[in-house]
Structure 1
Amino acid sequence: MQSSLIPERPLIISPTLAATIGLEEAVLLHVLSELMAHRPGIERKGLTWLLLEQQALLDALPFWAWIDIRRVQKNLQDLGLILVEARAGQEDGWYIAINQRPADDATPLAPAEPTPVTSAKVAMVAAGKTTEAGRGTAGYIAPDWQPGDEWLSLCRQHGVPDAFALERVPGFVMYWRDRAQSRFSWGNAFYKHVLREWRQEQTRRGAAELETTMSANWQPSQDAIDILCNAGINETFVEDAVPEFVLYWRERGAQNGTWNTRFIEHIRRQWARYKASVVNDGVPRPISENWQPSAEVFDVLRLAEIDEDFARNKVPEFVLYWRDTGQPQASWNTRFLQFIKYSWARRLDAGAATGLTHARDKQSAERGGQSLEATFRRFTDRSWAE
């Protein structure tokens, strides 16, 4: 009697196959084999090709989203276990074939197709019949372990040279022997390890190809000059700094792929030092006709609780006085701060003195009034005559 909890035919997955190529990959491979067994296919190039649409795959794999199906399908393609061709004129239909043929079938594929893995050993592993060791059980990696030709062939499909892959064998073996972990397929682990190393090597090579030594006739790009000019840096200053920059890096023989970026950073530092040296060189100079205090001056005045409008109104008087005297000063900002603080203090003192004078006058008036009243009473007193 069939259980109501299992209303349809269950999926039976080989544990050895799942350990070899991955559980999700084994599920998809098994489902594809079931579909090919119950649906008519097309015999071509020694393989059976089945036309599958997106909805057919979603119906066969209801526990996965479409993005998951495509991801696992891509993994099987990378392993060389399935071949996929797009159907002409259709965006949701594909011809899919399991890349396994009889050992005596030597029918070549077209050059545009991915190179199939025809090794009998890989075919047996994909079918779940054996592991690399031929025992169907997991095992530790051997001290003299070497990848089989089928795994090197898979690496070659991704453009990985055999020499590059074989150079990684000693480190791979040492790493897994130190970890003392067992696996069903050391070849599959090595294949993934080599692909990861190859991608990292390609990234390093790409960066290294961009790096160049400083040439004697190097010039910054126009984009770099525009960036510096937009930052308020004088273009003549930028041009004058190029020979020094080139000489500095040529003597060091360093390589870099971003000379323009480094030049921009160098010019910004030099410009900041130049501006600071011009403003704070300590050389006394006469005040200019259009001199104005810097923003830092007003920041200091605000901290001292001195009204900013009061300070700005004093600028013309300050400039006029010092232009008439013609005396040079090393720092006009400092001199202006002293002048404003002195003027502000005098303003406060004047206000206080005015208030005090007014109070004294009032008090004197009050005292005067009382004295006059007392004198009047004294002169008009007639009590002695009573």
Structure 2
Amino acid sequence: MSSSLIPERPLLVSPSLAATIGLEEACMLSILGDMAAFLPLSQANGRQWLDVDASWASRMMPFWTDHDIQRISRNLKDKGIILLASAPYTESQRLVISLETEFQAANLPSAPAFAPAHSGSHSANLIPHNWQPDRDLLAQLLQLGVPAEFAWQQVPEFIVYWRDRGDTKHSWGSAFLKQTKRKWEEKLSADATKRREDQEKNDRLREAEFLKRDQETPMHNQWRPSRDALEVLIKHANISLAFIEDTIPEFIVYWKEAGEVTKTWNSRFIQHVKRQWLRYHSALEHDSEPKRIPENWQPSHNTYDVLKLANIDLQFAQKQVPEFVLYWKDTNQMHSSWNTKFLQHVKYHWAKQHALTTVNSQQVNHAGQPIPHQSGRTRDSSLAEQLNDRSWAS
């Protein structure tokens, strides 16, 4: 072989073959096929072997690194397209390959039996019951992009069909080539159609899910703010999760009674919590010195403003004051903000009066076991339990 052909020899790659086994694999297979035509081949184990050293590989495949050559040749071996007898290329700097694959050798009969039907007499004849394609025919199909495994799967049906028809042909190989190529194209078309239908089905499902999420809905007892809404309030507005949970029951009560239907509950909830948070901070007593509750203690005007913003009836809140003061005077405890305590107390009883149950409303004891259902009446539990009970918002 004259070196003048290297590296100017053009590479011919079958598009259908590249689509089947991969572009790099098809390119290397074409190069190996050309090299097998002009380099000496050795005989071993009943096969012809092509021995390509690093100098030939670098001249014929200068666009690939050693690792690329090792990877692509291994892919061809794994696909059953070549036999690879050499050690990894990066170590041995050598490719010893045979284009006669193990698959073909295992499935093709001995030479007398698989001789092409057209290589003997030119007269037309019936298809033999044990007819099989020869190596040349399988190589032609591979060049057309038809895998050998698929071709072998068509043989039984091909024989049955033509024996039932009783037709005679000069070349059953040509008929098999045309029929198998057509069936492969039909399979590719059917696969493409199925993929397209599956994609369209998935698109319809996603669209339906999107429309469902975007659909207007009424407020209900199991409503919860979305994860995105909670993230906006906690991470961006720096509002405590406990405060957010406290606002959920009153938000649900108000909008259930309003009977409104919308698709923007999360946006409304964010604005609602932000307004309450601002009022809440303005109502806090900033005296850091804890003190006992005065006998004549009354909530501040700002406290009532926060309750009004939460749509809690002010007469209901005012009725809670005597019991609240009495309990905390009896306990003789000290706190730095009695307004904050009172806000929590009123919000809890307001939600409890409306028999509001959220998704996470089940209480548990210190051992993690559910607490039996309790009556909603105030006298069924101590004021301390009521003030500290946050199970409805947990």
TM bracket (short chain): 0.3 to 0.5
Q: TM-score scaled by structure 2? A: 0.31
* Higher radius of gyration, 1 or 2: 1
Q: TM-score scaled by structure 1? A: 0.32
